[in-house]
Amino acid sequence: MKRIVALFSGEGTNLANIIEKIHHKHALITCAITNNPNAAGIAKARAAGIPVEVIDHTLFPSREAYDEALVQSIRDYNPDLVVLCGFMRILTPIFTSNIRSINLHPSLLPAFKGAKAIERSFESDEQVCGVSVHWVTDELDGGDIILQKSFTKNSSDTLEEFSAKIRQIEHEILPLSIIQLLKEL
């Protein structure tokens, strides 16, 4: 069975989604790694019996030093694919040139790269919004698109309602992307 390492930083809702839809069905999530020792996703991974590594970025003198530790930890698990599911770190070439990984981003890239994409998309004049899964490269949110799904913005939606639509699409297209890629590996 193919092996995945998942990277996350917060609540772990996308991590929980791929645990439910992928783990032991299409691949094994051999480890979940977070940069945040207080991430709620830690409990979600542990509840599924998935080992968790906390590599706290605040304990490293630079992004490069952090990425070196992250790369070494990932290599220990020898994954077929690394999935960034809410991993809120800008990665350096130390990571991007050594680890083949995909990222989930809550906008229709190339629009709204980087942080606060949901809020920026919601506040924009764009009528069509959505979610992207893409390859991770040196360029922030700039790698080749694997899968996108869009929806038409409803002007009466609150930010909370808009965010819920984004999350629903994330939970749909991230597992689909993983399954598609694992078949190609």
Annotated catalytic residue, options 57, 105, 134, 171? 105
Closest CA to 36 of 101, 100, 87: 87
CA distance 183 to 38: 34
Length of the chain, in residues:
185
CA distance 176 to 58: 33
Q: Which long-range contacts (CB under 8 A, 24 or more apart) does 155-159 make?
A: 157/122, 159/118, 159/119, 159/122
DSSP assignments along 82-104, one per residue: EEESS---PPPHHHHTT--EEEE
Residue with tokens 């999935």: 83
Tally of CB atoms within 10 A around 79: 22
Mark whether 105 is an active-site residue.
yes
Catalytic residues: 105
